[in-house]
Homo-oligomer: A and B are copies of this chain.
Amino acid sequence: MDFKEIENKVIRFRDERNWAQFHQIKDLLLGLNIEVGELQELYLWKSTEQQTQIDPEKIKDELADIAIFLMYISRHHNIDLLEAISAKIDKNAAKYPVEKSLNSNKKYNEL
């Protein structure tokens, strides 16, 4: 399946339940963060070795939940998310020229 099909599947799931009425933007923004917290919780306090024992299904589910909220918010604003990512990478590439940012963890305004 491609991105558009998955996005349509997400939106169809919502619309079959008539949930757009609850999807105020500030709730979507809270939901996004709640899901990020749930992903983070899988790793909290864990050493590198303990992390190898995290159930991969749980990681997948939490990453998916975050992506689903991203799709709801993109749709709310009629944003083409793939195009936005591609354009942002182009901007980042201009802000972080390879020769200056190679092997560096500095922010662009400190390079």
Contacts and interface: CB of A to CB of B under 8 A. Distances in A.
Interface of A: 1-3, 6, 9-10, 13, 16-19, 21-22, 25-27, 29-41, 43-46, 50-51, 56, 59-61, 63-68, 70-71, 73-74, 77, 79, 81-89, 91-93, 96, 98, 101-105
B98 A16 contact: yes
A13 B61 CA distance: 26
Contact of A86 (B9, B21, B38): B9
B36 A92 contact: no
Given A17-B102, A36-B32, A68 B41 contact: no
B56 A68 contact: no
Contact of A70 (B13, B70, B104): B70
A24 to B, nearest CB: 8
Nearest 5 pairs between A and B by C-beta?
Answer: A37-B37, A64-B88, A45-B105, A60-B84, A3-B3
Contacts of A59: 77, 79
